[in-house]
Amino acid sequence: MSNILEFFKNFSLKSRHHSKLINFLLPELKKISKVNILEFGVSEKAMSTELFLKHSELNQCKVFSIDNIDYKSKFNNQNWEFILSRDDNFEFLKSKLPNKFNLILLDTIHEANHVEKIFYQYYDLLEINCYFFIDDTSWIPYAKGSEKDRFYGEINNQETFETLLEIYYANRDNFEIEFTFQGTGMCKILKKNNNKLNKKIKIKSRKNSFKNIIRKFLKN
């Protein structure tokens, strides 16, 4: 156990992304054992995969990792199954994956339409009272003048954030949602029931209404 605790401590110090995983994802990961974990996106650094497999050493979880780049030689672990595929190759993955998971992490294409498509497709595989994580939901590090300062990252992350809020707005009885703005952000969704998800609804804002214009005028 001391070795595991030391691993988590050292893991957190490696980078802001490592720290985000420890602070935001690990508390929920610690609650599960002898179940299936699904992640979309491995990457060269394989940070989340490493965390999941270390947890599985003591908790006997089975980790399924999906990526369209071949990372199968990244780890030699009996608890790990790597599947070479795009995350939206739905029919192929249906034949390769179990029917239920207790934690899902999405970290592939950070575009709102893609995130929405993947979330709706795999949400049904999530057990009740379990979590669906979505990485890169904060645009702040990519805003003009910020440390990453990149148009693509700013716009796509902000659109993803807004899309997730619209999905939540239509499904407030079905799941709970939280965000962290640490690093490039992450979303955490807690499934409350097995109801079929509603399509997202545009949130009507009064920000640009005549009434608000008058309010700001009088305030100034």
pLDDT (tens digit, 9 = 90+) per residue, 66-78?
999 999 999 999 9
pLDDT (tens digit, 9 = 90+) per residue, 131-154?
999 999 999 999 999 999 999 999
Whole-number Å distance between alpha carbons of 209 and 205: 8
**Residues near 213 by beta carbon (within 8 Å), at least 6 away in sequence:** none
pLDDT (tens digit, 9 = 90+) per residue, 163-191?
999 999 999 999 999 999 999 999 999 99
Torsion angle in degrees (nearest 10) through CA of 72, 75, 79, 81 = -10
Out of 14-23, 66-75, 82-91, 185-194, least confident range: 14-23
What percent of the chain clears pLDDT 70, i.e. is strictly above it?
Answer: 99
Whole-number Å distance between alpha carbons of 168 and 134: 14
Question: 4 or 129: which carries more pLDDT confidence?
Answer: 129
Reported in sequence order, the residue ranges of the chain that DSSP labels E, i.e. its strands, are 36-40, 62-67, 80-84, 101-106, 126-135, 175-180, 186-191
Supply φ then ψ for residue 171, to 5 degrees: -135, 35
Domains and CATH numbers, the chain: 2-219 (3.40.50.150)
What's 28's DSSP letter?
A: H
User: Mean pLDDT across the stretch 21-35?
Assistant: 96
pTM equals 0.94
pLDDT band at 5 (very low <50, low <70, confident <90, very high): confident
